[in-house]
Structure 1
Amino acid sequence: MNGGPLVVIGDSLLDVDIEGVADRLAPDAPVPVVDVEEERLRPGGAGLAALLAARDGADVVLVTALGDDPQGRVLRALLNGHLEVVPLPLRGSTVRKTRIRARGQTLVRMDTGDGRAVTRATEAALRAVRGAGTVLVSDYGRGVTGGARELLSGIGVPIVWDPHPRGVTPVPGCALVTPSESEAMQMCGQPYVGPDQAARQLTRTLRAEAVAVTLGAQGATLAHAGGHYRRIPPPTLTSGHDVCGAGDRFAGASALALRDGLPVEDAVAVGVGEASRFVESGGAAAIRLRGHELAKEMGDRPRTPMEVAELVRSSGGRLIATGGCFDLLHAGHVSLLRRARALGDALIVCVNSDASAKRLKGPGRPVVGQRDRVEVLRALGCVDAVMVFEEDTPDAVIERLRPHVWVKGGDYSGRELPEAGSLERIGAETVVLASVPGRSTTGLIAAVQEA
Structure 2
Amino acid sequence: MRGGGIVVVGDALLDVDVVGTATRLSPDGPVPVLDVSSRTTRAGGAGLVAAMLALDGTAVRLVTALSDDAGADDLRRALGAVPVVAGDLRAGTPTKTRVRAEGGHAIARVDDHCGAAPAPLVTDEMVDAVLSADAVVVADYGRGLTGVQRLREALRQVAERGTPVVWDPHPKGSPPVVGCTVVTPNQGEASALHGSVVGDVASAGAVAGDLRDRWQVGAVAVTLGARGAVLATAGSAGVPAHVPAPSVDSADPCGAGDRLASALAVALHGGSSLDEALATAVRSAAWFLGAGGVAVLDLEALRSGTGAGSEPAPPAPVALPGVDALAVARRVRAEGGTVVATGGCFDLLHAGHARTLAGARALGDCLIVCLNSDESVTRLKGPERPIMSQGDRVDLLLALECVDAVVVFDEDTPHAVLDRVRPDLWVKGGDYSADTLPEASLVAGWGGRTVTVPFHPGRSTTRLASALERVG
**Class of the TM-score when normalised by the shorter of the 2 chains:** 0.5 to 0.7
Kindly state the Cα deviation for residue 191 of structure 1 after the two structures are TM-superposed. Answer: 6.6
Kindly state the Cα deviation for residue 213 of structure 1 after the two structures are TM-superposed. Answer: 0.4
Distance 1:191-1:249 versus aligned 2 partners, 3 A rule = closer
> Alignment partner of 2:220: what SS?
strand
Which structure has the larger Rg over C-alpha atoms?
1
In the alignment, which residue of structure 2 is the partner of 1:153? 156
In the alignment, which residue of structure 1 is the partner of 2:245? 234
Kindly state the Cα deviation for residue 131 of structure 1 after the two structures are TM-superposed. Answer: 1.5
CA RMSD between the two structures: 2.3
Q: How does 1:61-140 map to 2 (within 5 A)?
A: 61-81=61-81, 83-103=82-102, 104-114=104-114, 116=117, 118-140=119-141
In the alignment, which residue of structure 2 is the partner of 1:52? 52
Kindly state the Cα deviation for residue 29 of structure 1 after the two structures are TM-superposed. Answer: 2.1
Q: Is 2:262 the partner of 1:263? A: no
In the alignment, which residue of structure 1 is the partner of 2:175? 169
> Alignment partner of 1:253: what SS?
helix
In the alignment, residue 132 of structure 1 is paired with which amino acid? A
Contact 1:89 1:117 in 2 (8 A): no
Contact 1:10 1:46 in 2 (8 A): yes
In the alignment, which residue of structure 2 is the partner of 1:214? 223
In the alignment, residue 163 of structure 1 is paired with which amino acid? P
Number of residue pairs matched?
295
TM-score between the two structures when normalised by the length of structure 2: 0.59
> Alignment partner of 2:299: what SS?
coil
Question: Alpha-carbon deviations, 1:63-104, whole Å to 9, x = none?
Answer: 0111111110110121131x2100111112101100001021
Distance 1:198 1:124 in 2: 37
In the alignment, residue 232 of structure 1 is paired with which amino acid? V
Kindly state the Cα deviation for residue 172 of structure 1 after the two structures are TM-superposed. Answer: 1.0
Distance 2:60 2:118 in 1: 21
In the alignment, residue 200 of structure 1 is paired with which amino acid? G
> Alignment partner of 1:154: what SS?
helix
Distance 1:8-1:85 versus aligned 2 partners, 3 A rule = same
Distance 1:159-1:267 versus aligned 2 partners, 3 A rule = same
Distance 1:60-1:291 versus aligned 2 partners, 3 A rule = closer
In the alignment, which residue of structure 1 is the partner of 2:213? 204
Q: Is 2:225 the partner of 1:225? A: no
Distance 2:275 2:71 in 1: 39
Question: Alpha-carbon deviations, 1:320-375, whole Å to 9, x = none?
Answer: xxxxxxxxxxxxxx97xxxxxxxxxxxxxxxxxxxxxxxxxxxxxxxxxxxxxxxx
> Alignment partner of 1:202: what SS?
helix
Contact 2:212 2:220 in 1 (8 A): yes
Distance 1:288-1:35 versus aligned 2 partners, 3 A rule = farther
Distance 1:130 1:93 in 2: 28
Kindly state the Cα deviation for residue 114 of structure 1 after the two structures are TM-superposed. Answer: 4.7
Q: How does 1:30-429 map to 2 (within 5 A)?
A: 30-81=30-81, 83-103=82-102, 104-114=104-114, 116=117, 118-147=119-148, 148-155=151-158, 156=161, 157-190=163-196, 194-226=203-235, 227-237=238-248, 239-290=249-300
Contact 1:89 1:118 in 2 (8 A): no
Contact 1:96 1:113 in 2 (8 A): yes
> Alignment partner of 2:167: what SS?
strand
Distance 1:47-1:192 versus aligned 2 partners, 3 A rule = closer
> Alignment partner of 1:266: what SS?
helix
Kindly state the Cα deviation for residue 120 of structure 1 after the two structures are TM-superposed. Answer: 4.5
Of all paired residues, the percent bearing the same amino acid is 45
Distance 1:286 1:74 in 2: 20
In the alignment, residue 151 of structure 1 is paired with which amino acid? A
Distance 1:186-1:20 versus aligned 2 partners, 3 A rule = same
> Alignment partner of 1:14: what SS?
strand
Contact 1:98 1:111 in 2 (8 A): yes
Contact 2:223 2:229 in 1 (8 A): yes
Distance 1:250-1:26 versus aligned 2 partners, 3 A rule = same
Question: Alpha-carbon deviations, 1:227-283, whole Å to 9, x = none?
Answer: 33111111243x111111111111111011111111111111111111111111222
Distance 2:231 2:96 in 1: 31
Distance 2:172 2:182 in 1: 19
TM-score between the two structures when normalised by the length of structure 1: 0.62
Distance 1:34-1:122 versus aligned 2 partners, 3 A rule = same
Kindly state the Cα deviation for residue 37 of structure 1 after the two structures are TM-superposed. Answer: 0.4
Kindly state the Cα deviation for residue 200 of structure 1 after the two structures are TM-superposed. Answer: 1.3
Kindly state the Cα deviation for residue 122 of structure 1 after the two structures are TM-superposed. Answer: 1.8
In the alignment, residue 222 of structure 1 is paired with which amino acid? L
Distance 1:3-1:263 versus aligned 2 partners, 3 A rule = farther
Contact 1:125 1:151 in 2 (8 A): no
In the alignment, residue 174 of structure 1 is paired with which amino acid? C
